[in-house]
Amino acid sequence: MTRSARADRLLAECRLIAEMSEEVERTTRRFLTPPVAAVHEHLRHRMKALGMAVTVDAVGNLRGIWQPEYAGSPRFVLGSHIDTVPNAGAFDGVLGVVMALELVASAQAAALPLALEVIAFSEEEGVRFGVPFLGSRAVAGRFDPQLLALRDLEGVPVETAIRDFGLDPAQIDQASVAHDAVGYLEIHIEQGPVLEAEGLQLGVVTGIVGQTRCELTFSGHANHAGTTPMHLRSDAMTAAAEWILAVENLALESDGAFIATVGKALAKPNASNVIAGSVCLSLDLRSERDDLRDQAVFELLERASAIARRRGLICVGKIQMQQPAVSMDEQMTAYLAESVEASGFPVRRLPSGAGHDAMVMATRLPTAMLFLRSPGGISHHPDESVVAEDLDAALLVAELFLSRIARIQDNKPL
Ligand code: GLV
Ligand code: MN
Ligand code: MN
């Protein structure tokens, strides 16, 4: 298949949005930071040009609704997120949003009797406040008001971040998706190597692994690195190192039943000639099985306490977030798989190891997800990329999928 001009246009749009960043020459766009307003401005313009009604809800999700002229058209929701990890690629999240807008254009051209809501979710990565899915939690009607008290590294609470962005946290309840919505589809890069290894362009997601995120702090005593003998130290750094290796070992021993990552470490005072007084670590643990995930987290928190006890330190751990594994909706996923097949592509079903807004939306709406292969399996990195021909393939499939949904809702045969 030759690449289309529209695939090239969408790729260029993702690259343009990647320049809207908190940092020069790197893409970093955390929840409700100033570049998010620039992305809103860009997407608002795009949505208005498509004749969509545009709003920003109280948690900062940008939402556009296309309502065709046929009265009573059911509403289908499309979307993905516009926040990023630090030093991100250009496609994780944003690709799903710009493709959703392209699908609105095709639905209009085909006069599809389907109202479409496109949501650019404001927060999925959990980078700024440690807890992910703040945007989709609000849309799914599952935003716990206690989340408003979470603070970022500068001590700013979620509530203040929302107000500073010109929004009113008291209105978050109203962000809940409308009752007439019939389903949700998210298009996303795979962020792993499976599709590419099998020579496939597309994948149909069966479910999304559950995840737990924790924060754990070892506290000892900061002291002089030159004068304190090795046996008289309370070194938080060596305790942290021992625990990080324990995390790796337990995950290796599980033989793939779960995976675990310590991706963040903050030492204090963080100076080369001072023994670390404290080290704060993150833990991200994921599994298709919620019971195994809970067991592993429990075991690792126990091991941290044992390491701290043996070394004469204190250890405090807290679970910041637990998101159960979810299955995608069977019927929606069957429609998606049929659309993949009818478009001439092999149907490859696979689970997602990455978290997605779809895992929260699935608690509220029948949800399906379509993956595009990730060259080199690279994601959460500036080298993240996507193949133009795969965008064409995904658009073809999603157009067919939406026309099926419209016919089903209209009580017409497939
Ligand atoms: C989101 O990308 C996640 O899986 O952490
Ligand atoms: Mn991501
Ligand atoms: Mn993502």
Listed residue (212, 8, 37, 34) closest to 102, CA to CA: 8
Residue 354: nearest ligand to its CA? 1
Question: pLDDT tens across 93-122, in order?
Answer: 999 999 999 999 999 999 999 999 999 999
Question: pLDDT tens across 59-97, in order?
Answer: 999 999 999 987 678 899 999 999 999 999 999 999 999
CA distance 280 to 243: 12
Q: Taking a C-beta distance cutoff of 8 angstroms, is the pair 127, 85 a contact?
A: yes
Is the CB of 247 inside a 6 Å radius of any atom of ligand 1?
no
**Average pLDDT over the chain, rounded to an integer:** 97
Q: Which pair of tokens denotes residue 71?
A: 């009265």
Instruction: Give 13 Cα–ligand 1 centroid separation in angstroms.
Output: 22
The pLDDT assigned to 69 comes to 86
Give the position, in ligand 1's atom list, of the atom nearest the Cα of 124: 1
CA distance 385 to 407: 34
Give the position, in ligand 1's atom list, of the atom nearest the Cα of 191: 2
pLDDT band at 414 (very low <50, low <70, confident <90, very high): low
Distances (CA, A) of 414 to 362, 409, 411: 24, 10, 9
**Alpha carbon 34 to chain centroid, angstroms:** 20
pLDDT band at 409 (very low <50, low <70, confident <90, very high): confident
Give the position, in ligand 1's atom list, of the atom nearest the Cα of 354: 4
Q: Taking a C-beta distance cutoff of 8 angstroms, is the pair 33, 410 a contact?
A: no
Instruction: Give 245 Cα–ligand 2 centroid separation in angstroms.
Output: 25
The pLDDT assigned to 233 comes to 98
Listed residue (327, 325, 252) closest to 288, CA to CA: 325
Give the position, in ligand 1's atom list, of the atom nearest the Cα of 85: 2
Number of residues that this document lists for the chain: 414
pLDDT band at 5 (very low <50, low <70, confident <90, very high): very high
Is the CB of 192 inside a 6 Å radius of any atom of ligand 1?
no
Residues less than 5 Å from ion ligand 2, measured at CB: 92
The pLDDT assigned to 1 comes to 55
Is the CB of 321 inside a 6 Å radius of any atom of ligand 1?
no
Question: pLDDT tens across 303-341, in order?
Answer: 999 999 999 999 999 999 999 999 999 999 999 999 999
Longest dimension (CA), the chain: 81
Question: pLDDT tens across 122-148, in order?
Answer: 999 999 999 999 999 999 999 999 999
Is the CB of 354 inside a 6 Å radius of any atom of ligand 1?
yes
Buried b / exposed e over 364-374, threshold 16 CB at 10 Å, is bbbbbbbbbbb
pLDDT band at 412 (very low <50, low <70, confident <90, very high): confident
Kind and range of the H or E run holding 319: strand 314-323
